[in-house]
Amino acid sequence: MSKAANPRRVGDREALAVATTVRGSPYKLNLVAGLIRGKKAGDALNILSFSKKAMAVDVRKVLASAIANAENNHNLDVDALVVKEASVGKSIVMKRFTPRARGRASRIVKPFARIRIVVRETADDEAQEQA
């Protein structure tokens, strides 16, 4: 008697990649994720490559992973991929302390965020309508 198979969390023509501990605030990460929502995968990679935001490096890695998952694990056409979802959430928060005047201490909060990118294979007519 074995354990049941883990169900897919996305649709049939979709692929997923998640980064669970990206060092930086979710707000800053969401600003970068907003740049690629709904764009073609190739265009999104170019946008992230030339973005001046520091968080674009981490988002680009996750997007590249999602594209690789689509190609290798689900046999999807890379040229027809569109970023369906780029969602950002909070992860752990490291708390540190720094000394202040008169023997006091202040808390330093070092936030982490998580990003989830879903790419979807679209038909040719759907991709032209979005462009």
**Residue 95, Cβ neighbours under 10 Å: how many?**
9
Q: Helix (H, G, I), strand (E, B), or coil: what is residue 12?
A: coil
Domain locations in the chain as residue ranges: 14-130
Predicted local confidence at residue 124, as pLDDT: 67
From residue 52, how far is each of 8, 22, 35 by CA, in Å?
35, 17, 12
The model's pLDDT over 58-102, given as tens digits with 9 standing for 90+, comes to 999 999 999 999 999 999 999 999 999 999 999 999 999 999 999
Look-up: residue for tokens 């752990």? 92
7 has a pLDDT exceeding 90: no
Q: Residues 43-62: what's their mean pLDDT?
A: 97
Phi, psi at 65, each rounded to 5°? -65, -40
The answer to whether the CB of 13 falls within 8 A of the CB of 120 is yes
Single-letter residue type at 15: A
Q: pTM for this one?
A: 0.87
pLDDT-based confidence at residue 125 (cuts at 50, 70, 90): low
Architecture of domain 14-130: Alpha-Beta Complex (3.90)
**Rounded Cα gap, residues 101 and 106, in angstroms:** 10
Task: Tell me the chain's radius of gyration from C-alpha atoms.
Answer: 19
Given a contact cutoff of 8 angstroms between Cβ atoms, the answer to whether 1 and 103 are in contact is no
What's the pLDDT score for residue 10?
86
